[in-house]
Amino acid sequence: MLFNSLDFLVFFFVVMCIISFFKFRRFQHLFLIFSSLFFLYYTDNYLITLLIFTILLHFYVGREIFKSKNIFRKKIFFIIGIVGSIGILGFFKYTDFVITQFNFFGSYLDLGSEIPLLNLALPIGISFYTFQSMSYIIDIYRGSLQPSKTLKEYAVFVAFFPPLVAGPILRANEFLPQLREKISQNEISQKLKLFVITNQNLKFGITLMSIGFFKKMFFSDNIGPLVNNIFSNPIGLESFSIMIGTIAFGIQLYCDFSGYSDIAIGAAAILGFKIPLNFNKPFFASSPSDFWTRWHISLSTWVRDYLYYPLVFKNRNSNSLVFISLLISMLLMGIWHGASWNFLIWGGIHGLFLACYTILRKNFSSNSTKKFFKSKIGKITSILITQYLVFFTFIAFWMKDFTHMAYAMEKYVFLDFATEGTIQIIRDNELPILLIILFGILHFYSYKQGNIVEKISKMKIHYWAGILFVFFISIAMFYVGSAREFIYFQF
Amino acid sequence: MNFTLLFSVFAVIALVSIIFSFSMSVYISVYDSDWYGLFSKNVTNQLEKEKIFLLGSSTVYSVNSTILNHHFITNEIEYEFFNLADMSDSPKKRLHSLSNIISNDPNIVIYGLDIGNFRIENQVPIPTEEIILHPQNFFLYQFDDFMEPIREKIPGSPKDRSLSTLKYFLFGPQPHHHPFINFYETQITPINELKENTLINDSYQVLDLSENSEEIISLKKIINELKKNNIKLIIFSAPKLVNDANENDIKLFEQTLKNYSEKYDIPIYFLHDEYMDLEIWRDSQHVAINNNTQIYTKDILEILLKEMK
């Protein structure tokens, strides 16, 4: 069920009304599970069994890990849980990729046999809910989390529909306490939480959802054609055209994915759940590591906590260990996005940038450079350099064809200063170019203003309705004609 | 739940809907009734060439008017070609703008018909396994009667209409040869990929070529009106990579067109299965707009040149 479809709006409205009118704790919790399963079943039909299997497996494994006094038994259950998650994800997402590589090298070495592809359907949201489930059992294994008390609670955590399909990836220690009544800041009661749709949450949620729809349907869907025009066949294009393509794609991807996250967080907020931000003005990041604290935060913190930290745990002072660990972490991040070499390259480049930056900062941070980077010019310079590098990586994210990728990257790095073709592209794509400029202005404004969602949702009702009107009318008048899938649905 | 808050949201939605439908109607009055976009008043008066109008749905929009007009100019043929393809066009829909077509006095109308124009909802109950496997189709089917009038009111691309209207008010009428669909270059998708990914599901629709069919009645009216006004009509079946119909339906479609061709003395050409092996497709239903897909335009040109003789 696409968020940007009438189906979802009707579905969400019905869920919201039922939860609001039937104020029985058990019913509300069961209804939330049922509606979440229906949400996935609506699009994914029988593949919903994978989600149910994941829920049952990890609930059981989590309990067994927690109960086990014996380290060996603990480890066995932990391995079962991890293998279960990785097995499902690997089988459905990476089998054909592995077979393709095997066949390629097989024919290269003249082995003479070819394994047929399985052509498996990729279950929607699988990358998100398996990572969510893995974090649950890893935390229990580490002793930093108590397992969920009931299957019902755990099912709500994994299947909760707003972030189910494209994140943010939830953490059990942040989400599970929200299913119980709060006693104080750090304490929860044993009583199931009664979901009450409060005015504050409703206003905040609607604001955030509207911003999400605006980002997706006004910006992303209308900038998309420019990206396709440039990136589908970049051979022969000028450097500045490639740069326009990368900028357009970066903005399209951001508006698409952060738009989805905003709708998910907003929908969850209306139902009374607090989901952490997934994006925080990434185009104002001033270093590669800063960028990863602002872009797809739920995935980057997942990789940091469950892969990078364990890898560098033994010796954080070793440059080579830090370098390799960052590279491995980012390669995993790349391959998480999809079974394709271009995502590995994308992750690899980010890994190199991160590793080089981390090591340079550690070894060459004198007071004079610190002073410069704290000044306004220094900050602007570091933002520009970081963004130049970040946008460079978007070429690999989009292009699966290596010849195209190599050409575009070369043109991006070695400028040819030709402008004729670029001017023509700008003339042929007036609307996307105007939208890119408008996005830049709004992004800068929201960067300067701080938490703009909070500010809008605290406005008086007539001003607030006025802002909603601007969002809705822009969406309606610039609707491209059919609901476009979110880019991150494919992951 | 605060009802004032919800009421505000619904009020905003209602206001946006009113403005939206009004602005879409403004587009109709700007472009559809007077066709200022096609011929601004001054241009119409100055236009001395004979006009050729191509009608049809998005399946004919990739016929490139620039190539055709270039050929006419270089060969000193006193014709000007306009591609009036519109999204989801059908004879029934086209009938609404027939008076505009006639009042603009074309010499030739070439009409690309698509088998999909004559398919109607199948009233057979959906099988249980279909409901289980594709619940979204079940809901679509259940609410179709309710949604259809709303869908009809929403244009194929509100964005294109908004921009056209905006340009009209900012810069005045601009003559062009593809007034209803933007003519941007589109990429070719590999044919194997398209064939693999296109599912043919004809269980919800049936072909209705009977005399009582609304589309057939409209088609006959169009033929008669054009004949009455001495406008030459040429019909062709629009090309598709994957026909969303079975073989019997396709044969019936061909036979029906042949019958009308004989009955009304209209030349007819079949292109619906002409390019099925060529790498010229954007998707399973549309030829891409691209330098490498000119064969479609060239075939239309050949048809026109043949009929002009």
**Kind of pairing between the strands at B50-56 and B79-83:** parallel
CA–CA dist B144, B205 (Å, integer):
13
CB-based contact A41 B1, cutoff 8 Å:
no
3-state secondary structure of A329: helix
Tell me how far apart the terminal alpha carbons of chain A are, to the nearest angstrom.
15
DSSP A304: I
Per the structure block, which two tokens stand in for A37? 């399963």
Q: Which residues of B touch A483 (CB under 8 A)?
A: none
Helix and strand tally (H, E) in chain B?
13, 7
pLDDT digits (tens, 9 = 90+) for A277-324: 899 999 999 999 999 999 999 999 999 999 999 888 777 777 888 889
Q: Rounded CA gap, B278 and A43, in Å?
A: 33
Task: Give yes or no: A29 in active site.
Answer: no
CB contact under 8 A, A481 and B5: no
**Measured between CA atoms, how close is A240 to chain B, in angstroms?**
20
**Rounded-to-integer distance, Cα A130 and Cα A161, Å:** 14
Return d(Cα A196, Cα A271) in angstroms, integer: 7
Over the stretch A160-208, which tens digit does the pLDDT of each residue have?
999 988 779 999 988 988 888 776 666 777 778 888 888 899 999 999 9
Mean pLDDT over each residue of chain A, to the nearest integer: 89
Q: Chain A closest CA to B113's CA: distance in Å?
A: 22
The confidence score (pLDDT) of residue B201 equals 56
Residue with tokens 């969602």: A453
Report CA Rg, chain B. 21
Residue B55 forms beta bridges with which residues? B111
Q: CB A461 to CB B8 under 8 A?
A: yes
- Contact between A431 and B155 using a beta-carbon 8 Å cutoff: no
Residue in chain B nearest A21 by alpha carbon: B1
Whether the CB-CB separation of A213 and A471 falls below 8 Å is answered with yes
Task: Break chain B into its structural domains and give their ranges.
Answer: 49-142+169-308
| Disruptive mutation site among B10, B15, B16 for chain A (greatest number of A CBs within 10 Å) | B16
Per-block average pLDDT, block size 10, for chain B (309 residues)?
Answer: 81 92 70 45 56 88 87 89 83 83 87 86 70 75 71 72 79 66 74 71 72 90 93 92 76 90 92 87 85 89 90
Return the sign of the alpha-carbon dihedral for residues A109, A115, A121, A126. Answer: negative
Crossing angle of the two packed helices A221-231 and A420-428, in degrees rounded to 10? 150
Compute CA distances A25 → A22, A29, A37, A152, whole Å.
9, 6, 19, 12
Cβ distance of A481 and B20 shorter than 8 Å: no
Yes or no: say if B249 and B156 are a contact pair by the CB < 8 Å rule: no
Give the model's pLDDT for residue B44: 46
B49 CA: distance to closest CA in chain A (Å): 29
Q: Kindly write down the DSSP assignment for every residue of A11-46, as one continuous string.
A: HHHHHHHHHHH---HHHHHHHHHHHHHHHHHHHHGG
Distance CA A466, CA A471 (A): 9
| pLDDT above 70 coverage of chain A, percent | 96
CATH T-level fold of B49-142+169-308: Rossmann fold (3.40.50)
Report DSSP state, residue B273: T
- Report which of B114, B284, B286, B287 is spatially closest to residue B199, judged by C-alpha positions: B284
Q: Is the pLDDT of residue A138 over 70?
A: yes
The packing angle between helices A420-428 and A430-449, to 10°, is: 80
Whole-number pLDDT of residue A480:
81
Task: State which H helix or E strand residue B120 sits in.
Answer: strand B119-121
CB of B279 within 8 Å of any CB in chain A? no
State the CB neighbour count (10 A cutoff) for residue A85. Answer: 25
In tens, the pLDDT along A406-418 reads 999 999 999 999 8
Residue B9, chain A, CB below 8 Å: the answer is yes
For β-strands B108-113 and B50-56, DSSP reports them as parallel
Q: Select which of A29, A337, A350, A404 is catalytic.
A: A337
- Chain B positions in Cβ-Cβ contact with residue A41 (cut-off 8 Å): 135
Model confidence at A43, pLDDT cuts 50, 70, 90, reads confident
**Pair of tokens at residue A306:** 């469950």
Which pLDDT does position A422 carry in this prediction?
A: 92
Q: How far apart are CA A202 and CA A16, in angstroms?
A: 10
Dihedral of CA A92/A96/A99/A101: which sign?
A: negative
Token reading at B270:
């079949």
- Tell me how close the Cα of B171 comes to any Cα of chain A, in angstroms: 15
Establish whether the linkage from the previous residue to A168 is cis, with ω within 30° of 0: yes
**Contact yes or no for A468 and B1 at CB 8 A:** no
Q: With contacts defined as CB-CB under 8 Å, which chain B residues touch A222?
A: 159
pLDDT attached to residue B203: 58
Chain B residues inside the 8 Å CB shell of A465 = 8-9, 11-12
For an interface test with B, the pick among A6, A17, A219, A477 (most B C-beta atoms closer than 10 Å) comes out as: A477
Of A45, A229, A472, the CB nearest to B185: A229
Q: B36 or A5: whose pLDDT is higher? A: A5
Q: By the CB < 8 Å criterion, does B195 face chain A?
A: no
Task: Give the residue with greater pLDDT, A352 vs A185.
Answer: A352
Of B8, B132, B158, the CB nearest to A479: B158
Whether B18 and chain A come into contact, CB under 8 Å, resolves to no
What pLDDT, on the 0 to 100 scale, is given for residue B38? Answer: 47
* In contact, A278 and A297? CB cutoff 8 Å: yes
From chain A, which residues contact B within 8 Å (Cβ)?
1, 7, 16, 20, 41-43, 45-46, 197, 199, 202-203, 206, 222, 225, 228-229, 232-233, 428, 431, 461-462, 464-465, 468-469, 472-473, 476-481
Strand ranges of the sheet holding B108-113, from the earlier edge strand across to the other edge: B79-83, B50-56, B108-113, B232-237, B268-270
Residue B268's SS3 state is strand
> Is A322 within 8 Å of A316 (Cβ atoms)?
yes
Question: Closest approach of chain B CAs to the CA of A405, in angstroms?
Answer: 17
Using the predicted structure, report yes or no on whether residue A3 has a pLDDT greater than 90: no
User: For residues B276 and B241, is the Cβ–Cβ distance under 8 A?
Assistant: yes
Decide: B85 and B58 in contact? Cβ < 8 Å.
Answer: yes
- The DSSP secondary-structure symbol of B242 reads S
**B270-304 per-residue burial string, b: 16 or more CB within 10 A, e: under 16:** ebbebbeebebbbebbbbbbbeebbebbebbbebb
pLDDT for A487: 62
Q: Between chains, do A461 and B15 touch, taking CB under 8 Å as contact?
A: no
Supply A22's token pair.
Answer: 């039937």
Where does residue A110 fall: left (phi above 0), alpha (psi -120 to 50 degrees), or beta otherwise? Answer: left
Both structure tokens of A68: 């086990």
Listing DSSP states for B50-102 in one string gives EEEEEEESGGGTTS-HHHHHHHHHHTT--EEEEE---TT--HHHHHTTHHHHH
Residue window 114-173, chain B: list those with CB within 8 Å of chain A: 132-136, 139, 155-159, 162-163
Establish whether this prediction's ipTM goes over 0.90.
no
The H helix count followed by the E strand count for chain A is 23, 2
Residue of B nearest to A472 (CA): B16
CA distance A257 to A261: 6
Shortest CB distance from A461 goes to which of B4, B136, B187?
B4
**Alpha helices, DSSP H only, in A313-451?**
319-337, 341-363, 367-374, 376-398, 402-413, 420-428, 430-449
Of A20, A202, A225, the CB nearest to B5: A202
From CA A339, how far away is CA A287, in angstroms rounded? 28
Q: Are A167 and A64 in contact (CB under 8 A)?
A: no
Which of B16, B163, B184 is closest, CB to CB, to A472?
B16
Does the beta-carbon distance from A478 to B162 stay under 8 Å? yes
A57 vs chain B: nearest CA distance in angstroms?
Answer: 25
Distance from CA of B107 to the nearest CA of A (A): 32
Here the contacts of A356-359 (C-beta below 8 Å, separation 24 or greater) are A357/A287, A357/A288, A357/A289, A358/A289, A358/A322, A358/A323, A358/A326, A359/A319, A359/A322, A359/A323
Asked if B31 and B179 count as a contact pair (C-beta separation under 8 A), the reply is yes
Contacts of A427 in chain B (CB under 8 A): none
pLDDT at B3: 76
The residue of chain A with its CA nearest to that of B139 is A7
Q: Please check whether residue B8 touches A, CB under 8 A.
A: yes
